[in-house]
């Protein structure tokens, strides 16, 4: 199937704004019990500025670096983290210490074991990976390498690294799917299983469960999703949950975000990752405008993010666009 240039551009915007939306809406529900979440979700239409957290903050830094370097350079991404991360935006302790160490002049490949000696298995490397998934979507082998390389700055634990790989590849595969056709769920799970082969067993077990649910065509209730996959900050819990929700609910962006938030736990990150995958599938045209209007829009707000997504696409197009289009046609 041939996807046109304009559609790809829209998909890049959809993924970055999708992450922004999920993070900003999800963050108000972090740590709330499921009953309160159900009650408060009814005021989604309430007008107040939705502020983003570390998930979007780091995503923007990764996108800026890829635009400047023409690909993933961990050294440059680390430089962007040290320049742009706003550590008041709800960062995890390991990542705060890593960014402070970068600011103190420690080399990018020496900061990841400062807090956790075996490296962090938090979802911090997965939550920020959408620009990588977009930029390498045409080359899944290259995508896996690049996702791992960007993870290594802060998350060298295999569960942290491979969580980033699973999330990046989910986005890459969603970009390649026709936004107007049926979402090929079984195909996506089969492709993910192939890519994650050889990684930690936790991800393969989760993918087998996702495959079973998708084949049965049964939609799990939020409590069952949280029980089956987990909803914590650990990458091997939250990334499979996000992947299951995105595959189950896409192309309905709003239902997918609501389902992600209903899990409770790490709601900003799970909803941010779901938003990025579904946004990569449906594009900006599939996102709710009235939700976007409520996002914060300061110097690095939603207009900036949209522009950045456009520049990321232009960079991809200049470097890979012509080759990919020739190969596809
Ligand atoms: O992974 P990270 O950047 O955190 C991201 C999360 C997202 O939910 C964001 O929205 C934000 O709220 O934080 O930060 P880390 O500190 O590296 O990892 C997150 C948490 O995972 C840690 O604070 C620990 O609780 C846990 N964790 C570990 N615990 C014990 N041993 C991660 N790695 C380890 C470990 O090796
Ligand atoms: Mg956050
Ligand atoms: Mg979070």
pTM of full prediction above 0.95:
yes
* Listed residue (262, 312, 313) closest to 26, CA to CA: 262
| Cα 87 to ligand 3 centroid, rounded to whole Å | 14
Six-digit token pair at 324?
């990919």
Residues of the chain below pLDDT 70: 1-2, 45, 326-329
* Burial track 206-245 (b if 16+ CB lie within 10 A, e otherwise): bbeebbebbeeeeebebeebbeebbbbbbbbbbbbbbbbb
SS3 content of the chain, % helix, strand, coil (to 5): 70, 0, 30
pLDDT for the residue 64: 98
Q: Cβ(269) to ligand 1 under 6 A?
A: yes
pLDDT for the residue 1: 53
Ligand 1 pocket test: which of 59, 115, 120, 274 has the largest number of ligand atoms within 8 Å of its C-beta?
120
Q: Cβ(142) to ligand 1 under 6 A?
A: no
Residue nearest (by alpha carbon) to ligand 1 atom 21: 122
Cβ neighbourhood burial of 26 (10 Å; 0-12, 13-18, 19+): buried
Ligand 1 pocket test: which of 124, 125, 152, 155 has the largest number of ligand atoms within 8 Å of its C-beta?
124
pLDDT for the residue 327: 57
| Cα 296 to ligand 1 centroid, rounded to whole Å | 25
């Amino acid at each position: 199937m041939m996807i046109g240039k304009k559609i790809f551009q829209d998909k890049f915007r959809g993924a970055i704004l999708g992450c922004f939306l999920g993070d900003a809406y999800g963050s108000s529900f972090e740590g709330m019990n499921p009953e309160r979440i159900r009650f408060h979700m009814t005021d989604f239409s309430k007008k107040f500025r939705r502020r983003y957290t570390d998930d979007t903050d780091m995503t923007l830094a990764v996108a800026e670096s890829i635009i400047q370097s023409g690909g993933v350079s961990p050294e440059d991404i680390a430089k962007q983290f040290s320049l742009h991360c706003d550590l008041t935006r709800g960062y995890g302790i390991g990542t705060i210490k890593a960014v402070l160490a970068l600011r103190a002049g420690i080399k990018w490949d020496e900061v990841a074991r400062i807090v956790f000696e075996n490296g962090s298995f938090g979802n911090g490397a997965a939550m920020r990976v959408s620009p990588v998934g977009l930029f390498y979507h045409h080359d899944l082998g290259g995508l896996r390498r690049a996702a791992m390389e960007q993870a290594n700055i802060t998350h060298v634990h295999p569960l942290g690294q491979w969580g980033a790989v699973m999330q990046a590849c989910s986005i890459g595969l969603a970009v390649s799917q026709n936004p107007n056709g049926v979402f090929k769920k079984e195909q996506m799970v089969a492709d993910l299983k192939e890519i994650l082969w050889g990684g930690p067993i936790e991800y393969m077990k989760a993918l087998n469960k996702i495959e079973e649910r998708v084949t049965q065509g049964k939609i799990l209730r939020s409590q069952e999703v949280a029980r089956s996959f987990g909803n914590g900050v650990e990458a091997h819990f939250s990334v499979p949950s996000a992947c299951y929700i995105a595959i189950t609910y896409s192309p309905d962006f709003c239902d997918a975000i609501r389902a992600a938030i209903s899990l409770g736990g790490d709601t900003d990150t799970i909803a941010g990752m779901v938003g990025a995958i579904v946004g990569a599938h449906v594009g900006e045209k599939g996102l709710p405008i009235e939700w976007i209007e409520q996002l914060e829009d300061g110097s690095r707000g939603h207009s900036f993010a949209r522009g950045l997504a456009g520049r990321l696409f232009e960079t991809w197009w200049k470097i890979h666009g012509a080759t990919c289009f020739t190969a596809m046609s």
